[in-house]
Amino acid sequence: MFNYFKKKYIKTIYLAGGCFWCTEAIFQRIKGVVKVIPGYIDGIVKNPSYKDVCTGKTGHTEAIEISFDEKKIKLEDILEIFFSTHDPTTLNRQGNDFGTQYRSGIYFTEVKQKEVANLIITKLEKEKLFQNPIVTEVKQAKPFFVAEEHINYYNQNKRQPYCSVTIDPKLNKLKTYFKNYIATENE
């Protein structure tokens, strides 16, 4: 009976902030995040491969599925971290990664998530935290396809040049500005 009550607090949302290796590495380290899975969302091809998605012709974006315990972390906090660790103002590009598969997006599973995402975007725009308008799309989640060969990529490939040049600075930013959200080994 306890598991039933515990599970009702676990929520899922999908976030696309460029390369899923980056977003996976960030959210794997956050208290209250139960599971992070990289994959593809919002496309027209069923079960696309990494190679398919890289062509930019499937309509998918690289994203992560995040399951989180809303008793331990609020969606607002997850989205604050999300908007702080990628550039939500560049259309179809994050750093040297470009194409529609690298667009910024929030794919909600509940109407409440849509409302929260839109409120945060409105707040960020009003506060003019970014020089350019936010282009992050907010859409109902469509089928998500797991990128199995990419699971836990950063943790297994920390010494790869892409990881040290692109992911390490994002993790350093996370440690600097969101240290209270970082899980310890036991969490």
Q: Which two tokens stand for residue 70?
A: 């809303």
Three-state SS for 72-103 is CCCHHHHHHHHHHCCCCCCCCEECCEECHHHC
Residue 121: which H helix or E strand, with range?
helix 111-127
Question: Active site includes 19?
Answer: yes
Residues 6+ apart with CB under 8 A from 28: 36, 152, 154, 155
Number of Cβ within a 10 Å radius of residue 48: 21
Number of Cβ within a 10 Å radius of residue 60: 27
> SS3 helix, strand, coil % of the chain, rounded to 5?
40, 25, 35
Residues with a catalytic annotation lie at 19
